[in-house]
Structure 1
């Protein structure tokens, strides 16, 4: 394959995907509404088509104009988006849908593609646009992929867990980088052993490309760091990247409640472990970036940006009250 249509392509996962495709010899066309700055505006091998991916006519025009071998759908948020795309791009060599680890409907450790059940999704939920139904809608999109494959379409899906890395507009990891960069005492919810599987954005991009090139029709592929780290280990990696040291302080529900903070108020904290098996993707030849390298790049991007992530977690003043309580125990 030597040409790709990326639906989205200018912000986070899509942006890194375009860079990865260019590095591997692809010519790329972007399809989006043009509401975000295009970082590839000066790149000769990247064309741009302005259009709304929820408009079937825009997708039909894009496939006629770009004539892509592979299509990567980074912004399909409702099942009908996937159903339309698999019909319109049926003659392309590959269609890859960006699903989510949130599509799984059972708390297996780890969650496996062909074993762990997916979330159910009602008709009403399929047309919803709230975070409460996000996983359900992604799961229904995965079912649309399987149905398309039965019709002979080379459609596949990739299920990332929490994605982090350069240009992450969610700023979830930025909250923790900002904390470590500004303070020498870091309050961590729980005992520090919490695990919420994360995926470095470069690895998600390479996974999408490899699935298009080597994946099997109708299949889904999990993607996440091959070496998982706890939330406390994540803080240590950030400190190492910043060339500093911090004192880690653990706080449970009772201590946090004194400042009206809950465990779930912290970004990248999940009470029950969320772990995805990545063996199926690795069998395609995919490799994961070492966490140290991924964190170095993430911290460098944070320092060069204006993101703080402070909006994603408790105020430091509230944490200070918790630290005072813990100091007296």
Structure 2
């Protein structure tokens, strides 16, 4: 494969995917609305076709203009988007849909492709735009890709959990980096053993390329850090990357109530472990970046940016009330 069309490609996962494809000698075309700054605007290796991916006519025009070997769909948020794209790009060599670990509909450890059931999706959920139906819509997008593969379209699915790294506009990990960078005492909810699978963005980009080149149509592939760490260890590793020391203070629901905070208010907290098996993807030759390297790059980017993730977690003033209560116990 030589020519790639990236639907999306200027913000986060897609941005890293374009860099990954360029590093592997692809000719790349972006298909975006043009409403965000294009980081590749001055790179003559990257073409740009402007259009709204929810407009089938615009997507059909892009297919005619580009005639790509591989299509990477980074911004399909509704099942109809996947159905349209797999129809329009039915003749490509690979169509890769960026799904989510949120598509899994049952809590088990680990969640495995083809074994762990996916969420159901009602017609109303399929057209909803709220976060509460995100997993349902992604699951139905998976089923749309599988149905297309049954009809001969080389459609494949990649499922990441929470993605972190440079240019992360969600700022969920940035919240923790900012806490560690600015405070000597960091509140960790619960007992610190909370475990939620994360994945470094460059590893997602590599997974998308590898699945396009080596994956099997009709298959899904989980992608996640091969080294999982509980939340407390993650905070400690961020402190190492920042070359600082922090005192970790555990707080349960009773203590957090002093600041009118709940466990779930903390970014990356999840009451039940969320772990994806990545063995299937590793079988294609994919490897993940060592955690110390991915966190170091993430921290460096954080320090160079103006992101602090402040809207993602409790206010420090509320946490100070919790810390004051804990000092009296």
Q: Same fold (TM over 0.5)?
A: yes
Coarse TM-score class (shorter-chain normalised): over 0.9
Which structure 1 segments of 5+ residues have no match?
none
Q: 1:141-220 to 2 correspondence within 5 Å?
A: 141-220=141-220
Which residue in 2 is equivalent to 1:126? 126
**1:67, distance to aligned residue in structure 2 (A):** 1.3
**1:116, distance to aligned residue in structure 2 (A):** 0.1
Using structure 1 for the length normalisation, give the TM-score.
Answer: 0.99
* Alignment deviations for residues 184-226 of structure 1 (CA, whole Å, 9 cap, x no partner): 1000000001001000000000000000000000000000000
Which residue in 1 is equivalent to 2:250? 250
Which residue in 2 is equivalent to 1:97? 97
Q: 1:237-316 to 2 correspondence within 5 Å?
A: 237-316=237-316
2:55 equivalent to 1:37: no
Which structure 2 segments of 5+ residues have no match?
none
**1:237, distance to aligned residue in structure 2 (A):** 1.1
Which residue in 2 is equivalent to 1:16? 16
Supply the RMSD in Å over aligned alpha carbons: 0.5
Residue correspondences, number: 329
In structure 2, C-alpha distance between the alignment counterparts of 1:177 and 1:274, rounded to whole Å? 21
* Alignment deviations for residues 160-194 of structure 1 (CA, whole Å, 9 cap, x no partner): 00000000000000100000000010000000010
**1:63, distance to aligned residue in structure 2 (A):** 1.0
Poorly superposed stretches of 4+, deviation over 2 Å: none
**1:43, distance to aligned residue in structure 2 (A):** 0.8
Q: Secondary structure at the match of 1:31?
A: strand
* Alignment deviations for residues 105-163 of structure 1 (CA, whole Å, 9 cap, x no partner): 00010000010000000111111111010000000000011100110000001000000
Q: Secondary structure at the match of 1:258?
A: helix
In structure 1, C-alpha distance between the alignment counterparts of 2:203 and 2:170, rounded to whole Å? 18
Q: Secondary structure at the match of 2:259?
A: coil
In structure 2, C-alpha distance between the alignment counterparts of 1:166 and 1:235, rounded to whole Å? 18
Q: Secondary structure at the match of 1:19?
A: helix
In structure 2, C-alpha distance between the alignment counterparts of 1:35 and 1:168, rounded to whole Å? 18
